[in-house]
Copies of this chain bind each other. A is one copy, B any other.
Amino acid sequence: MKEFCDLSDLRAGEIEDLLELASELERNPQVQALQGKVLALLFLNPSLRTLTSFQASMTRLGGGTFVVSPEMSIHGLETRSGIVMDGTAAEHIREAVPVIASYADVIGIRALASRENLETDLSDSAFTELRSLCDIPLINLESAIRHPCQALADWKTLNDLGIPAKGGKLVFSWVYHPEALPLAVPADTLYMAAKRGMDVTLLRPDEFAMPELLINRARTAAQQGGGRITETSDRDEGMESADVLYAGSWAATQNYGNRIADQKARNNHENWCVDETWFRPAKKSCRFMHCLPVRRGVEVEDDILDGLRNLVVTQARNRMWAQMAILKKLLAD
C-alpha cells in the first residue's frame, strides 16, 4: 500500500485485511512499531476528531506527529499557479507542501469541498493538486468527495457490532442542518456500505438527490459486492427492516454554491430530525450512526444520542484503530 486516498483503490478483501490489523492493534498494543517515524498533518480546514485521533494513533505506535493548520496561518499559503505573489500570501503550496513532506515519513492532508462549483468539487481537484506535490505515502484526511478514514472506521464499526454484510440494510438519511455541508461523508458511506455488500438506501428529500457520479460509483461497488443501492424520499419505505440508520446532511446540488437557493431548499425540511418514530419500520435492533459533529435537537433528538441505538462514540473511537492500521501498513511493511 503506497497511499490511502480513496477506498476504491482497495479490494474488499484488502479492506478486511486492514480491519483485521486494526483489531489486532486494538487488542495488542505495538508501542514500538513506528518508533522514530513522523506523520505530518496538513489541515487546510480545521479538525477535531481527525487531528486528535491521528495524534493518538502515532503515539500508540511509538512515533510522533506535527501539525500545519490554517490557525497557524504564518504567511498564508498561495494555491494558484503562475501567480505574481505580491499580495498577503508569502508562501506557495509548491514550496510548502514538498518541504513539509520532506520532514515526514507519511503525510495526511485535508482539503474540503469549496462548495462553490459542483464540477470542481466532483473532480476533487484541490486534493489532487496537493497530492501531486507529495512524494511520500499520503493519507486523505477528507477531500471534496472522499473521507476514506471515516468510511474505513465505519466498516469496522459495522463488523464489530455484527451487522451483516450480505443482507444487512444500511439507510443513509439526509437530515436538516443549518449549513450546506460537503458531500464527502454521505458519498463515501454509500460507497463503503455498497462495497461491503449491503442493501443500501439513500433517503433524502427530492431536492437533495446526490450527483449521478457519486451514486454510480456506489452502484458499481454494489454490483461487484453483491449489494444494491436504492434512493427514496419516503421515510417509512426507506427505513423498512433497516439494521442501521446513518444520518448526515449535505448541500442541495441543483443550485450548488447558491446559498440562498440552498437555504430555501433546506428550510422546507426542518422536520428531518431523527427521533424514535423513524425507527418504527426498522428492525428492533436498528442502530444510529453519525460521523460527528452532530447538532442535538436539529439533526437528531437527544433521546437517540443518549440511548442504546447510538454508535457515534464507537465510530469515533474506531477512527483511531483503523488509522493505526493504515499507518502501520504504509510505514512498517
A interface residues (Cβ-Cβ under 8 A, vs B): 29-32, 35-38, 40, 46-49, 51-53, 55-56, 58-66, 68, 71-72, 74-75, 78, 82-86, 90-92, 94-96, 98-100, 102-104, 178, 292-298, 302, 305-306, 312-313, 316-317, 320
Contacts and interface: CB of A to CB of B under 8 A. Distances in A.
A94 B305 contact: yes
Contacts of A92: 294, 296
A104 to B, nearest CB: 7
Contacts of A83: 296-297
Task: Across the A-B interface, give the 10 residue pairs with the lowest CB-CB distance, nearest first.
Answer: A31-B36, A59-B64, A84-B297, A91-B293, A102-B317, A56-B103, A85-B295, A55-B66, A99-B316, A31-B35
Nearest to A84: B297
Given A95-B292, A96-B48, A99-B317, A60 B38 contact: yes
A74 B110 CA distance: 14
Nearest to A178: B86
B38 A59 contact: yes
A59 B46 contact: no
Contact of A312 (B62, B68, B95): B95
A66 B52 contact: yes
Contact of A293 (B31, B82, B95, B302): B95
B56 A38 contact: yes
B82 A302 contact: yes
Given A84-B298, A85-B296, A313 B99 contact: yes
Given A35-B32, A72-B71, A103-B317, A294 B95 contact: yes
Given A52-B100, A313-B98, A84 B296 contact: yes
A52 B68 contact: yes
28 contacts: A29-B36, A32-B35, A38-B56, A38-B59, A48-B75, A48-B91, A48-B96, A51-B66, A52-B66, A52-B100, A52-B103, A55-B64, A55-B66, A59-B63, A71-B72, A82-B302, A85-B297, A86-B298, A90-B295, A91-B292, A95-B292, A95-B294, A95-B305, A95-B313, A96-B293, A99-B312, A99-B313, A103-B317
A328 to B, nearest CB: 13
Nearest to A30: B36
Contacts of A56: 38, 40, 64, 66, 103-104
A262 to B, nearest CB: 16
